[in-house]
Amino acid sequence: MDRLPTIEDVARAAQVSRQTVSNVLNTPAIVKPETRKRVEVAIRKLAYRPHASARRLRMRKSSTIAIRLDPMTNGISGALLDRFLHALTEQADARGIRILLFTAADPAAEIEQIRKLRAGADVDAFVLTATFHGDPRTEWLVENDVPFVTFGRPWGANDMNNPKHLWVDVDGFAGMREAAIHLIDQGSSRVGFVGWPSLSGTGDDRRRGWQAAVEERLSTSDDDLAALNLSVEDRLEDARDAVVALLESDERIDGLVCASDTLALGAMIAAASVGRSDLPIIGFDNSPVGQAIGLSSVDQTLDEVARGALELLLGETGGDLVHRDAAAGDTRHRLITPHLVIRQPLRLLAPDAASTPTATKSAVGNHKNGKETQ
């Protein structure tokens, strides 16, 4: 056989008509069991699969969701989108939906891309990431009636409980609060926070989580609260420098929670460099680097985020687009609770008793090394 088998080939092989084969595939219930079996055998024998483009043309839907792969390799947590993408692809696959990628340098270019993909009937719906305050994309999409869901809640004007669009987000408040409470439960009595300047809604949300935990469990004065609250850009050096300063100005600090793993790593370096490598630190994002270095972190459970996104777009089970108005009231968004991952930190400065290194042949050999480089 030169070309791929068509529904007609199957029909011929099973001695039935096109439509019966189609029915076996789409509405098996209405086909007589006997006939159905015969068709199924033919399908298997020919290794037939319906031609996706033909089906899409007829059905007037593409069963495809597009997502922008943005160039932001924003430092350490960059792999976040990567992991989300993976989760999304898996969930989508289970529903018979495909994930298409596109790129765009800026929001305007992204809108243009979306317009093209829509106009070519290439894509049914979109997933937007990294939304921000006053995002032109969401406005445009709403206006042009394009189905979409955002990863990230609308921080701006409209009411979170009745927004203009579907969204999924991670509950940064709950996550950061859990992290802080964990430290307090482990004996910390003075827990600081390293976050971002308060432009980002995400950062503020996480900050409030820390604040809630401290106010709830510790008797930290308002002045102290302000002193324990750092705001720096999401860069290793900035975090390191700020934390060095903080630790030197306040010896009693015995715990830190951070709005990202980047900041947490900076904090670890800072702690080590001022001889506090025992300081418990918790980050956010559960990035690969964090994992490699034994950093405890708040994991975003991207599987659930992805599942939530698809459920909002397509409904609980099927692969069909839910009409916007049908997705009623409180089901129009999902707030996912992240969970804390506790790890044994890798001491940056004091490699104690190298735990069975796997150096082989040409390695010089392993030996104990208990030297405290403090």
Partner DNA sequence: ACTCAGGATTTGAACGATCAAACTTTTGAA
Partner DNA sequence: TTCAAAAGTTTGATCGTTCAAATCCTGAGT
> Which of 57/109 has CB closer to DNA?
57
The item of its own copies, DNA, none sharing an interface with residue 8, based on CB under 5 to 8 Å by kind, is DNA
Q: Smallest distance, Å, CB 55 to DNA?
A: 4
Q: Smallest distance, Å, CB 194 to its own copies?
A: 9
How is residue 169 written in tokens?
Answer: 């987000």
Each residue 326-355 as x (binds its own copies by CB under 8 A) or -, in order, gives: --------------------x-xxxx--xx
Q: At what angle do helices 261-273 and 236-249 cross, to 10 degrees?
A: 50
Burial call 173-186: b when 16+ CB within 10 Å, e when fewer: bbbbbbbbbbbbee
Contacts (CB under 8 A) with its own copies, residues 222-251? 226-227, 229-233, 235-238, 240-242, 244-246, 248-250
Q: Smallest distance, Å, CB 50 to DNA?
A: 4
The item of DNA, its own copies, none sharing an interface with residue 342, based on CB under 5 to 8 Å by kind, is none
The item of its own copies, DNA, none sharing an interface with residue 259, based on CB under 5 to 8 Å by kind, is none
The item of its own copies, DNA, none sharing an interface with residue 25, based on CB under 5 to 8 Å by kind, is DNA
> Which of 30/160 has CB closer to DNA?
30
Which residues have C-beta within 8 Å of that of residue 353, sequence separation ≥ 6?
A: 368, 369, 370
Each residue 31-50 as x (binds its own copies by CB under 8 A) or -, in order, gives: ----------------xxxx
In 3D space, the residue among 71, 77, 72 whose CA is nearest the CA of residue 266 turns out to be 77
153-159: list long-range contacts, CB under 8 Å, 24+ apart: 153/201, 153/333, 153/335, 155/201, 155/202
Measured in residues, the chain has a length of 374
**Quick check: 59 binds DNA (CB under 7 A)?**
yes
CA dihedral 158, 160, 166, 171 (to 10 degrees): 140
Decide if 263 contacts 241 (C-beta within 8 A): no
> Which of 9/241 has CB closer to DNA?
9
